[in-house]
Amino acid sequence: MKEYRFPCSVSKKCGGCQLTNMTYEEQLSYKQAKVIRLLGRFGHVNEIVSTGRPFYYRNKVQAAFGRTRGGEIVSGVYQSSTHNIVKVDSCLLEDQRADAIIVTVRKMLREFGLTVFDERNQKGFLRHVLVKAAQGTGEIMVVLVTGTREFKSKNAFCEALIKRHPEITTILQNVNNRFTSLVLGEEEHVLYGDGYITDELLGKRFRISSRSFYQINYEATKILYKKVIEFAGLTGKERVIDAYSGVGTIGMLCADFAREVLSVELNKDAVADAKKNAKLNDLHNITFVCADATEFLTGFAREKEKADVVIMDPPRAGSTVQFMNSVCMLAPERIVYVSCNPETLARDLHWFVQHGYKVKKIQPVDMFPNTNHVETVVLLSRK
Ligand code: SAH
């Protein structure tokens, strides 16, 4: 068999792409087999859908900054399970505009006499750069994560950066002076533009802040959301719950086809964005609650509320038994479960199947080409 060569020179050190030994077709078969292995016992698994574009899809790019032993300033990713930075100037998965901006920032540090953060003594200026690109509108956000609040020649720095990258629409400074592996700190200052970007997706507009969750593969998200809407089977009469709703994308796309939508999300920045987004899209039948999804649904079920459709899109760890128990008390006809982790999905589906629901459809989507991650949408209906 012909040997496949993944066109990246740092893939071993970086570890971000786990399927570098496979062609893209082989990756799709591998993911299909994985979903069948984990979820096949619940029913037929539809063929995985893909955008056919396995490269340059990541619209959110994060680079860590540091120095080599020789003193050279580098930016890139942490080598798996270490804090050594692997120098990455252009990554095959990342939006190419984002990568170019990060390289420019690195070069500009020297020109402006700015330092990089040193994790060992917790001193120095630039820690990370986060770039978010709205691929529907072309808007770009740059977040400079700094170890100190003080930012020498801040205005001149931003001006020079915009001059070299006029595609940037907003720049923020995020201060993170804590001993943490989290990228973003609490304190944030807008240095240029509005402090957020707005994307356009399936005819709706979505405002995104530095901290709110937004799907990282724009084209694949369109495929995913269309499946979610199809599975939700809305006729205009339903009360829909959109749990783990982020900036409200799924709920807002459903609002056109439902009586009312109730969205629940824990991250307050995402909820603030979601509320603005409803106005932006002139939607009046959607409400946003900022709460832990389990707590909110438990209270809602206790008040004997009902729902016709529950859409849930929890993080990798999956949902909680208490959340699922409350869902069952709302007695929706349909549950649409969106998951980025088929292992926890299998665990949660098992619970639903034991408690009165039947798995009707299983649809894998290739959201994260070249990595071993796979997204799945499942439709459940009441027995
Ligand atoms: N459905 C959205 C977001 C999915 S990501 C979209 O398609 O864009 C999962 C979301 O769950 C994140 O926004 C995260 O902030 C939120 N989240 C995590 N734990 C939560 C909890 N316990 N309760 C409610 N939301 C939670």
Q: How is residue 217 annotated by DSSP?
A: B
Q: Are strands 126-133 and 60-67 parallel, antiparallel or unpaired?
A: antiparallel
pLDDT digits (tens, 9 = 90+) for 334-377: 999 999 999 999 999 999 999 999 999 999 999 999 999 999 99
Q: Measuring from atom 22 of ligand 1, which residue has the nearest CA?
A: 292
CA–CA dist 168, 151 (Å, integer): 19
Give distance in angstroms: CA of 322 to centre of ligand 1.
17
Q: What is the pLDDT of residues 157-168, one digit of tens each?
A: 999 999 999 999
Ligand 1 atom closest to residue 224's alpha carbon, by position in its atom list: 7
pLDDT of res. 181: 85
Reference 334, options 232, 261, 252; nearest CA is 232
Atom 20 of ligand 1, nearest CA residue? 266
CA of 85 to the centre of ligand 1 (A): 29
Ligand 1, atom nearest to 311 Cα: 1
- Biggest distance spanned by C-alpha atoms of the chain: 66
3-state secondary structure (DSSP) of residue 128: strand
Interval 213-226: pLDDT, tens? 999 999 999 999 99
pTM: 0.95
Query: 1 pLDDT band (50/70/90 cuts)?
Result: low
Amino acid residing at 186: E
Residue nearest to ligand 1 atom 13, measured at CA? 246
User: Which of 221, 223, 225, 245 most suits a substitution to test ligand 1, by most atoms within 8 Å of the C-beta?
Assistant: 245
CB under 6 Å to ligand 1: residues? 213-215, 244-246, 249-250, 264-267, 270, 292-293, 313, 315
Ligand 1 centroid to Cα of residue 212, in Å, is 9
Ligand 1 atom with the smallest distance to the CA of 340 is 5
CA dihedral 168, 173, 176, 182 (to 10 degrees): -20
Domain 60-201 has CATH 3.30.200.20: no
Nearest residue by C-alpha to atom 21 in ligand 1: 292
pLDDT band at 147 (very low <50, low <70, confident <90, very high): very high
From residue 344, give the alpha-carbon distance in Å to each of 36, 74, 243.
14, 37, 16
290 in active site: no
Contacts of 49 (CB under 8 A, 6+ apart): 223, 227, 363, 364, 365, 366
Q: Which residues in the chain are classed under CATH 3.40.50.150?
A: 16-54+217-382
Q: Considering only 1-10, 68-77, 185-194, 294-303, which range has the smallest mean pLDDT?
A: 1-10
Pocket perturbation via mutation, ligand 1, pick of 182, 199, 213 by most ligand atoms within 8 A of CB? 213
95 within 8 A of 133, measured Cβ to Cβ: yes
N-to-C CA span, the chain: 48
Q: Where in the chain is the domain with CATH 2.40.50.1070?
A: 60-201
CATH superfamily, domain 16-54+217-382, is Vaccinia Virus protein VP39 (3.40.50.150)
CB 238, CB 308: distance < 8 Å: yes
Given 14, 17, 91, 340, the catalytic residue: 340
Q: Report the SS3 class of residue 335.
A: strand
Among protein residues, the one with the nearest Cα to ligand 1's atom 15 is 267
